[in-house]
Amino acid sequence: MKSNLSNKPSAKSELHSDQPLIALVGNPNAGKTTLFNSLTGSYQKVGNYPGVTVEKVSGALRLDAQTVECIDVPGLYSMYAVSEDERVAVEVIEGTLANSRRPDLLVCVLDATNLERNLYFFSQLAEARNPMVVALTMVDRLQQSGQSIDLPKMSNLLAVEVVPMVGHRDKGLQELKDAIERNLASPRFPVFDIGFPDALETCVASLRERVARVGIDFTKSDIRKALLDPEDPFNTFLKDFPEMQDAFREARERLTREGVIKPALEVSSRYQWASMVKRAVVRESTTASRNLSLTDRIDLVLTHRVFGLVVFLTVMYLVFQSIYTFAQPLMNGILASFGWLKDMVGPHLAQWPVVRSLVVDGVLGGVGGMLVFLPQILILFMFIAMLEGTGYLSRAAFLMDRLFGWCGLNGRAFIPLLSSFACAIPGIMAARVMPDRNSRLATILVAPLMSCSARLPVYLLLIGAFIQPRYGPIWAGFALFAMHLLGLVVAIPIVWFLNRKVIRGKRLPFLLELPPYQWPRWRDVWIAMYFRAKIFVKTAGTIIVFMSVLIWGLSYFPRLSTQQRAGVVQHYLGSNPGAPKDDVAKEVDRAQLANSILGRFGKAIEPAFVPAGFDWRITTSILSAFPARETVVPSLGIIFSLGGDVDEKSPDLPKALNEATWPDGRPLFTPWTAVGLMVFFALCAQCMATLATVKRETNSWKWPLFMFTYMTVLAYIAAVAVQQIGRWFGG
């Protein structure tokens, strides 16, 4: 392969399917991702495994003589997969996943400070029969605690190369690359004896032979698993071979009778082996202090029942303020530059009004409306990467788990749900702090119920127009607070329901590790921010821009004919003689929107929304707010003939809303209608950026469609309920 040194090649251009494939595997928290970032740097690409929500992260690893593809396999505690995520990870290792190839080499990341559990996984991994190299991380930390490790002995016992890594300064990285290169040329397989009882192993060997005779090639570990666990999927597979099934059952019964098979035999044997290896290779120095470690001393404060919660609330307040307030200038900057761009481009296209509107309102509006989410995404992922990198995220989950656990979420749901009060887009993306698919999905599905900042203009407009003038500032403040609380309150029973009825899949116990504190690695933070932003723009962003253009088309076509326009002007001037030219133009805009496909659709669904007190003008405004929630205000402006440049603070719009009537002269808005509209907006999924992000994060259109449906139904029912209760009170 030719490499072009003057141009920085991208990961994609460097990867070919004929390159050797290596996979980075290991326990969660073993330092796998940090190592992956060190190995591949920015030569990474992030996608999805087909059909599942698991993210595929791979990159180009440049060795001295060649470039190889490197996959970062999601962290695993066990090859005995329970959840969907684990199944995918195991299949990547075994090379059995659709469209994947078997890795030529596994780089197994073992945490030197947590050897027993890491070796437990290693012992299972060894049976997958892949060539292997061990990268031993956290060696520096082990030494700090007064211990040392005998590397040649370890390498001997595991029968593979063991390369010590000191993460912070990439020490050991070159040695690891050399080892990878060596092992690709002459692979080494881990060979060692776990020490299962002889009687069991003899039985496994003879069963394996019998199974092989009917033409099924399974590994010893598959056979052993099936023998030890009658529930193992392999046994279901054997249903087609009754004589095999009988052989397994007889062997199982005999070994149990003889006391060879005991509960948890496999796990116990592996752990006995792991602690034997640990005792053999780790030397406790005599100076090891029995004092509290630094992590324990920090945790005395950070997980304290009072101070811990105070620190937690402070940290979360900072995170929230950053995405809610500090991101604002950046977002305004993006919107302003797109406004400037529109002003620059618009006049050049003045001769072709359709093209002008398409480019300015459709494309530029869509791209700007998509890029405006970037500051929040970048800031939130900077915090998440830092909180994760230091180990604080686990502490936050430890503190909060009780509050979230009972309804089927877990402590980690706090970050995505809190972020969603600023914006559901970064919130939904943040749900990946939850390793467990079911909790992640449940969190994603309720995140948009949290009242985001894009709903605020609607609340302020309607409260300002209907609540404050009649009931005073106290009720106005209460209404605003209630609207923010509503989504949270509604989310609780919904999560409870989703977890029981909608989201299927095996549930694992909530296992949370509290790793020692450490400084975050800036490269990890930077890479997390960069790739989150890139993924959003590339995948969700494409959908958002496409849908913006679509909604633009629906609200632009069909155009009024010259005759129709003249009719509108004449009619308007007839009832408003001498109206200024500007007002006439706004009336034409209104008539145009009313005539568009969107306006017609709004009218068509009006009967369905009459029970909620909405007329076609409200339904059309809601429909046209699909690209972004806050655009409902300018849409209301257009449809009430005030032009599209009104905002929630302009005095004309509340006045127009107050004066609006049904055809029979009844006022369109009662305070109850206003509350109903706010409730509808609080609960509905009128935000295509959210839906596009859900599509990207769940890797399926099923979940965004489900989300849209359930939220719209919920919003509709709630709005109708408010209106009907209001009517009952004589509102």
Partner 1 sequence: MSFNALKKGMNARVTRVSSDSGEMHRLLEMGLTEGTTFRVVKVAPFGDPVEIDLRGYRLCLRKNETKGLEVEPVE
**Using rule CB under 8 A, residue 84 touches partner 1:** no
What minimum distance in Å lies between the beta carbon of 107 and partner 1?
22
Closest-CA residue to 160 (of 199, 129, 137): 129
Cα dihedral sign, 265-267-270-273: negative
DSSP 77-132: S-SS--SHHHHHHHHHHHT-STT----SEEEEEEEGGGHHHHHHHHHHHHTT---E
Query: Looking at beta carbons only, is 53 or 123 nearer to partner 1?
Result: 123
**Using rule CB under 8 A, residue 399 touches partner 1:** yes
**Using rule CB under 8 A, residue 19 touches partner 1:** no
**Using rule CB under 8 A, residue 299 touches partner 1:** yes
What minimum distance in Å lies between the beta carbon of 41 and partner 1?
30
**Using rule CB under 8 A, residue 215 touches partner 1:** no
Our measurement of the distance from residue 655's CA atom to the centroid of its chain's CA atoms, rounded to an integer in Å, reads: 42
**Using rule CB under 8 A, residue 127 touches partner 1:** no
Instruction: For the segment 354-373, give every residue that binds partner 1 (CB under 8 A).
Output: none
Query: Looking at beta carbons only, is 397 or 677 nearer to partner 1?
Result: 397
- 524 vs 55: CA distance, rounded Å: 17
What minimum distance in Å lies between the beta carbon of 144 and partner 1?
14
Number of chain residues interacting with partner 1 (CB under 8 A): 41
What minimum distance in Å lies between the beta carbon of 410 and partner 1?
9
In this chain, which of 338, 392, 398, 708 binds partner 1, going by CB under 8 A?
Answer: 398
Side chain identity, residue 480: L
- Residue in this structure with the two tokens 């295509």, named with its chain if needed: 688
- 675 vs 685: CA distance, rounded Å: 17
What minimum distance in Å lies between the beta carbon of 731 and partner 1?
41
- 342 vs 331: CA distance, rounded Å: 16
Closest-CA residue to 35 (of 165, 187, 179): 165
- 172 vs 177: CA distance, rounded Å: 9
Closest-CA residue to 106 (of 125, 86, 78, 79): 125
In this chain, which of 36, 43, 120, 609 binds partner 1, going by CB under 8 A?
Answer: 120
What minimum distance in Å lies between the beta carbon of 221 and partner 1?
14
Query: What are the phi and psi torsion angles at 578 (to 5°)?
Result: 75, 20
In this chain, which of 9, 19, 28, 80 binds partner 1, going by CB under 8 A?
Answer: 80
What minimum distance in Å lies between the beta carbon of 480 and partner 1?
29
301: which residues sit within 8 A by CB, 6+ positions away? 307, 308, 311
In this chain, which of 231, 243, 582, 664 binds partner 1, going by CB under 8 A?
Answer: 231
Contact 52, 1 (CB under 8 A): no
In this chain, which of 46, 63, 82, 668 binds partner 1, going by CB under 8 A?
Answer: 82
Q: What three-state secondary structure class fits 510?
A: coil
Residue ranges of alpha helices (H) inside 194-291 are 198-213, 220-228, 233-237, 242-257, 265-281
Query: Looking at beta carbons only, is 279 or 727 nearer to partner 1?
Result: 279
Instruction: For the segment 260-289, give every residue that binds partner 1 (CB under 8 A).
Output: 263-264, 267-268, 271, 275
**Using rule CB under 8 A, residue 113 touches partner 1:** yes
What minimum distance in Å lies between the beta carbon of 77 and partner 1?
6
Query: Looking at beta carbons only, is 205 or 300 nearer to partner 1?
Result: 300
What minimum distance in Å lies between the beta carbon of 268 and partner 1?
5
**Using rule CB under 8 A, residue 117 touches partner 1:** yes
Closest-CA residue to 110 (of 70, 138, 85, 132): 138
Contact 204, 223 (CB under 8 A): yes
Closest-CA residue to 682 (of 525, 493, 487): 487
Q: Which stretch binds partner 1 (CB under 8 A): 340-348, 502-510, 584-592, 684-692?
A: 502-510
What minimum distance in Å lies between the beta carbon of 248 and partner 1?
16
**Using rule CB under 8 A, residue 291 touches partner 1:** no
Instruction: For the segment 514-553, give every residue that binds partner 1 (CB under 8 A).
Output: 514-515
**Token duo for residue 669:** 């808005």
In this chain, which of 159, 212, 288, 309 binds partner 1, going by CB under 8 A?
Answer: 309
What minimum distance in Å lies between the beta carbon of 123 and partner 1?
11
Binding site for partner 1 (CB under 8 A): 77-78, 80, 82, 113-117, 120, 229, 231, 263-264, 267-268, 271, 275, 299, 303-306, 308-309, 398-399, 401-403, 405, 506-515
